[in-house]
């Protein structure tokens, strides 16, 4: 299943992403994680040193390779240069399994604490004042459009903060989106904004409370979030130790916080998988981007890249 973590800046979504990935890995599940947050802290949260995190390759710097590999021999895509971040797969495209060996995985992903991790990349000095961060996450969006995960496989993404996630179609690429919410009105406000935007696209939104200190915090979250609140985590010595560079096994996490992660996993495992909807939304956002800027930038009608008879998923992969 594909899972995203979103929320107000400072709510703890990177921490929750790392805890959830570690929980899945500790349960023996394969996990592919992508850090698409502008702050790029997921590698360290998983247990990498600052030096190891800084040395990781980035998806953004390998965008030409990603495009060329995913294009395959799809006759609707004339060249890698004609691909944009929303280009959907079609017959002849290469669909990618999250744990296979291929040139993209070899170039862009590394093992961090048992998690196959890719990062979109930090802002550089050349980006300042001339680029938005969503130019960095385009490679991740393109990859997710072509990524076919199967039963028992998990793809987990740490997203940009707040409603910034809606600046691209990336927010529709997931089976479940967890919004991390503190027991504050500001954090609840981000939830309401996200829920309003997500509703029109059928995004399955679940809320994980964080930094809960007492029953009053729980009651506040229940009153504000209703049935969208699926679990909550309280203060953690385990997390504080990790933030000081003293990583511990996930089994050392407090029992009530482990129970919350188990509930989050159950929420993911019970989510229905709809490949037709997944691809339909990819096509919708591709056509929007084509009309808005893609056709002008590439000098071609990018609507022609859409294969109307194609639906991704394991059956398509088996027939490739």
pLDDT in tens, the chain (320 residues): 999 999 988 889 999 999 999 999 999 999 999 999 988 999 999 999 999 999 999 999 999 999 999 999 999 999 999 999 999 999 999 999 999 999 999 999 999 999 999 999 865 544 444 344 455 788 999 999 999 998 899 999 999 876 677 777 889 999 999 999 999 999 999 999 999 988 888 899 999 999 999 999 999 999 999 999 999 999 888 888 877 777 788 998 999 999 999 999 999 999 999 999 999 999 999 999 999 999 999 999 999 999 999 999 888 876 65
Contact 180, 7 (CB under 8 A): yes
Q: What local confidence, expressed as pLDDT, does residue 121 receive? A: 82
DSSP β-bridge partners for residue 156: 3, 33
- Dihedral angle sign, alpha carbons of residues 70, 313, 320, 107: positive
pTM, to two decimals: 0.92
Q: What local confidence, expressed as pLDDT, does residue 151 receive? A: 87
Q: What local confidence, expressed as pLDDT, does residue 131 receive? A: 43
Tokens of residue 142, six digits = 């393109």
> Who's near 88: CB < 8 A, 6+ residues apart?
145, 279, 282, 283, 286, 305, 306, 307, 310
Q: What local confidence, expressed as pLDDT, does residue 143 receive? A: 96
Q: What local confidence, expressed as pLDDT, does residue 133 receive? A: 47
Q: What local confidence, expressed as pLDDT, does residue 124 receive? A: 52
Contact 164, 277 (CB under 8 A): no
3-state secondary structure of 239: helix
Secondary structure element (H or E) that encloses residue 116, with its range: strand 115-119
């Amino acid at each position: 299943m594909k899972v995203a973590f979103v929320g107000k800046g400072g709510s703890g979504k990177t921490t929750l992403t790392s805890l959830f990935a570690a929980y899945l890995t500790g349960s023996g599940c394969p996990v592919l994680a992508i850090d698409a947050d502008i702050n790029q802290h997921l590698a360290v949260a998983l247990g990498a040193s600052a030096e190891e995190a800084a040395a990781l390759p980035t998806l953004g710097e390998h965008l030409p390779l990603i495009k060329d590999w995913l294009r395959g021999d799809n006759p609707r895509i004339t060249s890698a240069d004609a691909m944009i971040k929303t280009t959907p797969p079609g017959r002849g495209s290469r669909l990618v399994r999250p744990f296979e060996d291929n040139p993209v995985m070899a170039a862009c992903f590394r093992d961090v604490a048992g998690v196959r991790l890719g990062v979109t990349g930090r802002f550089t000095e050349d980006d300042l004042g001339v680029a938005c961060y969503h130019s960095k996450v385009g490679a991740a969006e393109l990859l997710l459009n072509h990524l076919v995960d199967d039963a028992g496989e998990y793809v987990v993404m740490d997203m940009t903060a707040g409603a910034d996630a809606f600046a691209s179609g990336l927010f529709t690429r997931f089976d479940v989106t967890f919004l991390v919410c503190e027991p504050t009105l500001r954090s609840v406000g981000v939830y309401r904004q996200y829920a309003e935007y997500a509703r029109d696209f059928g995004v399955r939104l679940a809320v994980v409370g964080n930094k809960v200190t007492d029953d009053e915090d729980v009651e506040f979250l229940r009153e504000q979030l209703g049935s969208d609140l699926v679990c909550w985590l309280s203060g953690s010595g385990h997390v504080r130790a990790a933030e000081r560079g003293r990583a511990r096994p996930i089994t050392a996490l407090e029992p009530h916080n482990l129970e919350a992660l188990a509930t989050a996993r159950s929420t993911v495992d019970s989510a229905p998988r709809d490949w037709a909807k997944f691809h339909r939304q990819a096509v919708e956002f591709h056509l929007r981007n084509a009309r808005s800027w893609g056709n002008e930038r590439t000098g071609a009608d990018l609507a022609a890249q859409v294969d109307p008879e194609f639906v991704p998923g394991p059956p398509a992969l088996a027939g490739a």
